[in-house]
């Protein structure tokens, strides 16, 4: 399939490379020239604008920071809508507010353009190895047409409902991830403060009910003090902001989410907004005045 890909950041760059590896023709566009050049070197073609991409492809994928960027790229000047013809599919794989997904989809539908909201989970490592989890909102027939494309980037692809449902599901995912990282952080800091090696605690509990994908991914990085971003705290703040806003709109209190949001805000104030969300542990370390580390060899 001939695919346009807009947004070549931490996630979008490896995702687009996996489309190339799967044999798709990919045309890319991004404000960062170095990222574009890297994709061109991998076999992609380049377009000057989202409008130019939309004029050439069957499917446009967007992977952008938040709702305003998606609205600008899709509906703004030189955007996808200006270059699109009826029958084009727009798959927004960004994590944005569900109501914005529905608003953008309604505007596109007026011109006969279909849309899926298809945010992903798994962070940079799973984007690189093509094992992301994709949660999709939209029509069944449009989902079926795009499924092989999603499968080139993901290990799990699930249609969860109509347009907007993908981003509601992603918000639920981000709540679980944030609270899980906080719980792992709190538990390992407790163990350290009580004089028990946190690495041994991790090994002891990971196979039981407390074990999780989040624990397996983040506990070793905490122990190794590796907080370079796989998923930045600033981006998780964005997602939790969308979760809390959506919760207020539908009347679903999220007290635990609000608590973790405040911890992330405190870390941002401390200058850690661009660190990986595993750096949540540093808040608990600061409170307990200790630091996690691996067992001495």
DSSP classification of residue 154: E
3-state secondary structure of 137: strand
Contacts of 169 (CB under 8 A, 6+ apart): 119, 135, 137, 160
3-state secondary structure of 168: helix
Query: To the nearest 10°, the Cα dihedral for 143, 144, 146, 151?
Result: 110
If one counts every other C-beta atom within 10 angstroms of the C-beta of residue 246, the result is 18
What span, in angstroms and rounded, lies between the C-alpha atoms of 130 and 143?
A: 19
Burial string for 58-69 (b: 16+ CB within 10 Å, else e) reads ebbbbbbebbeb
Q: 12-21 and 33-41 are packed helices; what angle lies between their axes, rounded to 10 degrees?
A: 20
Instruction: Please confirm, yes or no, whether 170 is among the known catalytic residues.
Output: yes
Among the listed residues 51, 126, 170, 238, the single catalytic one is 170
Nearest-5° Cα angle at 62, 244 to 11: 75
What span, in angstroms and rounded, lies between the C-alpha atoms of 94 and 279?
A: 23
Place of tokens 């994928």: 61
Six token digits for residue 224: 């190794």
Q: Which residues pair with 132 in a beta bridge?
A: 154
Which residues are catalytically annotated? 170
């Amino acid at each position: 399939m001939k695919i346009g890909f807009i947004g070549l950041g931490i996630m979008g760059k490896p995702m687009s490379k996996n489309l190339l590896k799967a044999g798709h023709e990919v045309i890319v566009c991004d404000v960062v020239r170095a990222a574009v050049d890297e994709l061109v070197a991998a076999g992609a073609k380049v377009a000057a604008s989202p409008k130019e991409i939309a004029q050439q492809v069957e499917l446009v994928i967007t992977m952008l920071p938040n709702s305003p960027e998606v609205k600008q790229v899709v509906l703004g000047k030189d955007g996808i809508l200006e270059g699109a013809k009826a029958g084009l599919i727009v798959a927004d794989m960004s994590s944005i507010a569900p109501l914005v997904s529905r608003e953008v989809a309604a505007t596109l539908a007026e011109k006969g353009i279909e849309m899926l909201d298809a945010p992903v989970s798994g962070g940079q490592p799973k984007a690189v190895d093509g094992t992301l989890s994709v949660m999709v909102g939209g029509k069944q027939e449009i989902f079926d047409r795009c499924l092989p494309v999603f499968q080139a980037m993901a290990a799990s692809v699930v249609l969860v409902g109509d347009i907007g449902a993908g981003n509601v599901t992603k918000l639920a995912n981000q709540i679980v991830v944030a609270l899980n990282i906080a719980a792992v952080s709190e538990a390992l800091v407790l163990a350290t403060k009580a004089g028990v090696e946190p690495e041994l605690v991790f090994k002891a509990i990971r196979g039981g009910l407390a074990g999780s994908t989040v624990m397996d991914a983040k506990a070793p990085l905490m122990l190794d003090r590796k907080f370079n971003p796989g998923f930045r705290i600033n981006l998780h703040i964005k997602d939790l902001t969308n979760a809390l806003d959506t919760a207020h709109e539908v009347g679903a209190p999220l007290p635990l989410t609000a608590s973790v949001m405040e911890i992330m805000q405190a870390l941002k104030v401390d200058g850690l907004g661009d660190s990986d969300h595993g750096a949540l542990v540093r808040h608990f370390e600061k409170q307990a005045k200790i630091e996690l580390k691996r067992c001495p060899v």
